[in-house]
Amino acid sequence: MVKFTIILYVIILLSLLPSPSTQLQRFTYQDPQAGLDLIDYDKSNDGTIILRFGKPITQVNGSTMCWDKTIYLRIIHPNASISFFSISNHDIPDFNFCLINGTNNDYTKIWGFDQGLMLLTFHDSSNATTSAIMAFYVLERGFAIAYGGDDSLNSTANINSFNVGTTNGSNDSQTLIQTSTLQELICNVDFDGAGNICMLILTSQYNITNTTSQPTLLKISYLSSGSVTKIGEMKNVNFTNGFNLIPLRFGGYLMTVYQDVTNFGYVLEEDGNVYCNWSLPQPLYLPQHKSGYAVLTNNSIVVVENQNDSIWSITRDDLYRFYGQDNRYNNPIIESTNPIIGSQVNESTRQLLSTFTYPVTLSSSNVSIYQQIIGSNDLLRQRFNGDSSNPLCRLDPNNNKSILIQVLPSTFNEPNSLYYVVIENNFVKRSDSNEALLGVDKNLWTLVAENKQYVYSSKITGIIRLTPDGSNYFLSLSSANRLKFHEQIAADLSSVIPVEDNRLTAADGFEKDMSTGTLQILLPFNIKDTTDLSKKSTDKISQDLNTLLTYKKYSALMDYNTTALIDETYSMTIAHARKVPELWLPTLMILVISTSTNMAFSFMITVHEIGKNPKFNKWFSEYGHFLPLLTIISTGHIEALNVLTSKFGMLEIFSTTFSKTAEKTIFIVGILGLIIGEIPQFIIQVGTLFDEKRYFGV
């Protein structure tokens, strides 16, 4: 016997569409390739169904024995859309596409996982002696291969080993138990957070001293480390005919009993007792290579049947749930969330809470919040992992079953938009077993942002700074490519914030900043105003961008080649505001000199008029309480004193008379104020404008 090797191919599938809770019910589709056989099928954790078809090329007595080497894949997404593609350029040996002796299966097998991935396994030798093999998804970002059989060249004993090898960073496999002859095995994650479960169908008792040939169903529970925690026998399963046993996420098992094309379905309790029939027709006729079925994560079953040469039907129905009847997270160990599914949120929502049925600890996977974008890829708003050192995620100090997740101020910033929270598997672990727990798939924990009206703010020009590496890259570009980079970073920022593309645009030029001791590039951007108060104001856009910069490593800024080069330590600055340090002293001097001059002469004029001008003195005796306020106002412009002689509204309070000396003094001080105040300010403004043109010139 030749030692058996498995080569793994991971194939990246087309992007999977959302809504695993969408019910397929029943529909038909026409395959573009007529005359195909359904050879294999599986499902992904998000509810996607994967079908592998083949074109028959060899038949014996009317039965197909081999198929063409082209792998025809049909991906049925949870929203009932279908993707068609095929793989013909591969090096899989031909015999993998022919029936294994004595079975209805070929040597090739597909396994559905998550994150848009599937696994394709095949043999490199047709003399393999391993009697059973199964790949299954494990929660710590990987998969495991369980297999049994005798790999020894000279072994004659009727004892085989059952092994599990994982792909989570170790190439080691664990031998869990020595068994008698292994007919078949079924493995899956223990959705209760206690590790994994494998069920072994044996042709003799697992107790070696008992030599009876009665088939036995052995249930083995074990941790990811390989430690066996429990071994039990399911004694109530009928082995009279062929059967298949599938663990259900919400408790129990689906057992299908078949003879030729006739199939019966039963839902079993944990101990193997029949609880009820499935709700599909009993019996259900499923012709070989023209039909199949898969059980999804939400305890529903999908049946695929051929109607004619190219028409296939898809039927979906629900299976019984032993617990979690109202659970809409497809996760039996999530007790509750706050906010609940469908709740309204807004920019002031600062925290999410997820409560599990067991005490948990934080682990290494991510929790993310996305904004759903119709007709395009959904937009990541924030993402961080459960690392215990992460300040944005922590255990509830009052409840070790709950996780507190901080929400960034820029996350729920798009009114009337739909958001959803994704908790990856292994974001938390069960405390007592240290086993990774299931998370929450996309479009299940959905939230809706409230409507909002913004306050108008005028257009602004803001500046961001590139990192040293980003600056070196920018300077290495040609003038034309610098402009393209500048425009692309504006477009990418518009996507991340988000804001309409035409409102945040690249302004002309750039500046070299040496204030940090390292050459860094400053890039200006224009943010246009809008009179539509349902749209973000320029101030709000600037605030959101600064929040994203502050939490750059947790945001979608890291997902773009351009925005990843922005220096997060430099908040977006209004263009002229960065000049404040160098303008502060001259501006202060102008202010002090002009106000002091006006105040001094205003005081001297009023004192002179009270003592030397009888008319003013009479006015002062009646309205003197008004004079201190007017004196203070005149510190800005001494001409404000003229309001006392303006006869405004024919009121007596505005009808006094200044002497010729006072009038001349007010005029001269006004001219002086223009020289020492207004003109210098104008010069500074013009100089600043030319300075901007010089620095930001192309």
pLDDT in tens, 202-259: 765 444 445 555 677 778 888 877 788 888 777 766 666 677 788 888 888 888 888 8
Domain presence at residue 474: yes
Helices (H) and strands (E) in the chain, counts: 8, 42
Position 341 scores a pLDDT of 95
Our CA dihedral for 272, 273, 274, 276, rounded to 10 degrees, sits at -110
Residues pairing with 520 in the sheet: 513
Q: Does residue 488 sit in the same domain as residue 633?
A: no
Q: Does residue 684 sit in the same domain as residue 646?
A: yes
Position 687 scores a pLDDT of 64
Specify whether the CB–CB gap between 164 and 215 falls below 8 A.
Answer: no
Whichever domain contains 383, its CATH number is 2.60.40.1220
For residues 17 and 550, the model is more confident at 550
Q: Does residue 425 sit in the same domain as residue 504?
A: no
Q: Does residue 38 sit in the same domain as residue 183?
A: yes
Specify whether the CB–CB gap between 444 and 420 falls below 8 A.
Answer: yes
Position 303 scores a pLDDT of 92
Domain presence at residue 390: yes
Percent of the chain scoring above 90 in pLDDT: 29
Q: How confident is the model at residue 163 (pLDDT cuts 50, 70, 90)?
A: low
- Domain closes at, from 262, 286, 321: 321
> Average pLDDT in the 273-293 region?
87
Q: Does residue 232 sit in the same domain as residue 366?
A: no
pTM: 0.72
Position 15 scores a pLDDT of 32
User: Can you give the residue range of the structural domain that contains 226?
Assistant: 6-13+24-241
Q: Does residue 542 sit in the same domain as residue 618?
A: no
- Could you count the other beta carbons within 10 Å of the beta carbon of residue 281? 12
The interaxial angle of helices 614-623 and 580-612, nearest 10 deg, is 110
Position 102 scores a pLDDT of 66
Q: Does residue 258 sit in the same domain as residue 360?
A: no
- Domain closes at, from 423, 449, 475: 449
Range with the poorest average pLDDT among 169-183, 268-282, 384-398, 642-656: 169-183
Position 204 scores a pLDDT of 58
Position 158 scores a pLDDT of 40
Specify whether the CB–CB gap between 291 and 304 falls below 8 A.
Answer: yes
**Average pLDDT for the chain:** 80
Range with the poorest average pLDDT among 64-78, 462-476, 550-564, 622-636: 622-636
Q: Does residue 35 sit in the same domain as residue 157?
A: yes
Structure tokens that stand for 651 in this block: 């009121």
Q: Would you report the helix, strand and coil content of the chain in percent, each value rounded to 5? A: 25, 35, 40
User: In sequence order, which residues have a C-beta less than 8 Å from that of residue 497 and are 6 or more positions away?
Assistant: 410, 413, 504, 536, 541, 544, 545, 548
Position 467 scores a pLDDT of 96
Position 133 scores a pLDDT of 58
Q: Beta 440-449 vs 343-345: how paired, if at all?
A: parallel
Specify whether the CB–CB gap between 575 and 524 falls below 8 A.
Answer: yes
- Domain closes at, from 291, 321, 351: 321
Q: Does residue 270 sit in the same domain as residue 226?
A: no
> Average pLDDT in the 9-37 region?
59
> Average pLDDT in the 70-87 region?
88
Domain presence at residue 529: yes
Q: Does residue 304 sit in the same domain as residue 358?
A: no
> Average pLDDT in the 663-668 region?
83
Specify whether the CB–CB gap between 421 and 369 falls below 8 A.
Answer: yes
Cis? peptide before 397, omega within 30° of 0? no
- Could you count the other beta carbons within 10 Å of the beta carbon of residue 681? 14
- Alpha-carbon gap, residue 298 to 438, rounded angstroms: 13
Domain presence at residue 329: no
For residues 218 and 537, the model is more confident at 537
Domain presence at residue 18: no
For residues 160 and 588, the model is more confident at 588
Short-list 401, 253, 255, 249, CA closest to 323: 249
- Alpha-carbon gap, residue 142 to 168, rounded angstroms: 5
Q: Does residue 66 sit in the same domain as residue 210?
A: yes
Q: Does residue 33 sit in the same domain as residue 104?
A: yes
> Average pLDDT in the 550-576 region?
91
Domain presence at residue 328: no
Predicted confidence (pLDDT) per residue in 618-636, tens digit: 888 887 777 777 777 777 7
Domain presence at residue 388: yes
User: Is pLDDT of 321 > 80?
Assistant: yes
Domain presence at residue 540: yes
- Alpha-carbon gap, residue 310 to 34, rounded angstroms: 5
Residues in the chain: 698
Overall domain count for the chain? 5
User: Is pLDDT of 277 > 50?
Assistant: yes
